[in-house]
């Protein structure tokens, strides 16, 4: 018997190697805001968390500047950054195989809907997911926990058991969001996380083959 019935998939750093496009959009936002642009080693820290948290909490922008910075980021990302990405080798095949094995799949990303849709349509990923979970463009639903809450509510209508659900992600906010709902979280080491983040997860996997084995596929 496989350990899970339902597999939730993060997008950036898990399915997609999207760092290049995100870096370009951050750099555009900093230039447009007249701010000193951090180097990419610093920007690496901001791969994954919601933009509101990045600009408002981590970078200390005022609420007004946070709003402007997000607008500048998104204008670039929607036009250019979303497409400067590529799937991690083997992950899409694994998601196909998870579905073929009869397991439910869901996208679970804190990327806003429009940005996520640009990526999943461009890379022909939409057909992989039974549930399409994203943040909202108006940032009312913005954190990974917010997204998971909406997914769990939808799954709950069908009697899903939480101990049969796993989130596949790559950063600590995936772990923290999953913990709020008593969901297991596996971090992939090919993403953007750190060893400290991996240690906080239910498990971490180094390769797609390892994840395949973990899921019993």
pLDDT value for 127: 93
pLDDT value for 178: 98
∠ Cα 92 97 100 (to 5°): 130
CATH code, 6-17+86-215: 3.40.50.1000
Nearest to 148, CA basis, from 164, 131, 163: 131
Give domain limits for the chain.
6-17+86-215, 19-83
CA dihedral 20, 21, 24, 26 (to 10 degrees): -110
CATH code, 19-83: 1.10.150.240
Instruction: Characterise 48 by phi-psi region: left (phi > 0), alpha (psi -120 to 50), beta (else).
Output: left
- By three-state DSSP, how is residue 175 classified? helix
Query: Distance between CA 152 and CA 146 in Å, rounded?
Result: 10
pLDDT value for 45: 86
pLDDT value for 101: 96
Give pLDDT < 50 ranges for the chain. Answer: none
pLDDT value for 31: 97
């Amino acid at each position: 018997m496989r350990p899970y019935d339902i597999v939730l998939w993060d997008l950036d750093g898990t399915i997609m190697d999207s760092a290049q496009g995100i870096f370009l959009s951050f750099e555009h936002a900093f230039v447009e805001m007249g701010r000193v642009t951090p180097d990419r080693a610093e920007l690496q820290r901001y791969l994954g968390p919601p933009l509101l948290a990045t600009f408002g909490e981590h970078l200390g922008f005022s609420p007004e500047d946070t709003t402007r910075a997000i607008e500048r980021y998104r204008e670039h990302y929607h036009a250019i950054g979303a497409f400067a990405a590529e799937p991690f080798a083997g992950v899409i095949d694994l998601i196909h195989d998870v579905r073929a094995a009869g397991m439910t799949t869901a996208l679970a990303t804190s990327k806003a809907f429009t940005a996520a849709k640009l990526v999943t349509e461009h890379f022909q990923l939409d057909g992989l997911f039974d549930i399409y979970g994203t943040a909202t463009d108006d940032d009312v639903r913005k954190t990974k926990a917010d997204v998971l809450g909406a997914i769990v509510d939808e799954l709950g209508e069908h009697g899903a058991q939480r101990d049969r659900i796993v989130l596949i992600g790559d950063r600590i906010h995936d772990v923290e969001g999953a913990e709020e709902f008593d969901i297991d979280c596996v971090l992939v080491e090919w993403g953007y996380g750190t060893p400290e983040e991996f240690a906080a997860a239910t498990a971490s996997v180094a390769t797609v083959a390892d994840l395949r084995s973990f899921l019993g596929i």
